[in-house]
Amino acid sequence: MKNGNHQTPRELFTIEHANLLKKGEEWMRNTATQCMLVATIIATVVFAANFSVPGGNNDKEGIPIHWRNVVFRIFVVAEAMALSLHHDM
């Protein structure tokens, strides 16, 4: 079917909503930029936390002071997973 201007519904929709398409593209670009900023901040924090051990190391043995603490070990595993899985973000 065509209207009085010999346009199909698809053609009419495309013409009428061209402005929405441009606004959508702009919104998508802005959103992608903001998401990239957040991902960069998260990666920076994870990277820094992975290489700085909370509490420091024992000078004699070189192992972390809190190594015997279960919560600390969970933290170490979570940090290692966050650093290794960051690439998939």
Q: Where are the domains of the chain?
A: 1-37, 53-89
Q: What is the pLDDT of residue 22?
A: 93
Give the pLDDT score at 30: 94
Q: What is the value of pTM for the model shown?
A: 0.48
pLDDT at 50: 67
Q: What share of the chain is helix, strand, coil (3-state, %, to 5)?
A: 70, 0, 30
Tokens of 73: 């070990």
The sign one gets for the Cα dihedral 60, 61, 63, 67 is: negative
Which regions of the chain are under pLDDT 70? Answer: 50, 86-89
| The pLDDT value given to residue 31 | 94
